[in-house]
Amino acid sequence: MKKIILIGSSGAGKSTLSLKLGEKLDIEVFHLDKLLWKPNWEMTDREYQNEIQNNLIMKPSWIIDGNYGGTLDIRMKAADTIIFLDRNRFVCIYQILKRVKKYNGITRPDMQNNCPEKFDLSFLKWVWNFPNRQRIDILRILQTVPKTKKVIVLKNKKQIQLFLDEL
């Protein structure tokens, strides 16, 4: 495992797991939220997103966390390991609410500067609908991944810890 992507719903624990993996494997971690947002919650354009990710995947090793479905193919082609955090929507919502409470009004470490954490009902609705929309697309994509790549699906805290312990 030298080129790893983590995907899953917001609140699933991608950033937390990526940092733990990075420390354990001594691989640099890149948070797409930090790289692809501009200050004040302005999203970068697709051309810039492609450029950033094409530059990242040229490195000899990396851990990249984030979904960004429009550019997922770039990361999936280059990755040797794909980790899908397929967490329960209630867990994801709970984690997001905890994050809002902890970072409310300030920028969290895995986010672009000047993008303060805030309560956002439309974002929570997106997370709630993730299992019925994005999850289905991700599972379909994972079925097409070449056998040369390792695909790991982790559904709960116990599986995540076991995975880390076995590294």
Concatenated DSSP letters of 7-40: EE-TTSSHHHHHHHHHHHHT--EEEHHHHHEEGG
pLDDT of residue 86: 98
pLDDT of residue 76: 96
Instruction: Indicate the pTM of the whole model.
Output: 0.95
pLDDT tens, position by position, for the chain (167 residues)? 999 999 999 999 999 999 999 999 999 999 999 999 999 999 999 999 999 999 999 999 999 999 999 999 999 999 999 999 999 999 999 999 999 999 999 999 999 999 999 999 999 999 999 999 999 999 999 999 999 999 999 999 999 999 999 99
Distance between CA atoms of 55 and 125, rounded to whole angstroms? 33
Check: CB of residue 18 under 8 Å from CB of residue 29: yes
pLDDT of residue 152: 98
Pick the CATH number of 3-166 from 3.40.50.2000, 2.30.30.100, 2.40.50.140, 3.40.50.300: 3.40.50.300
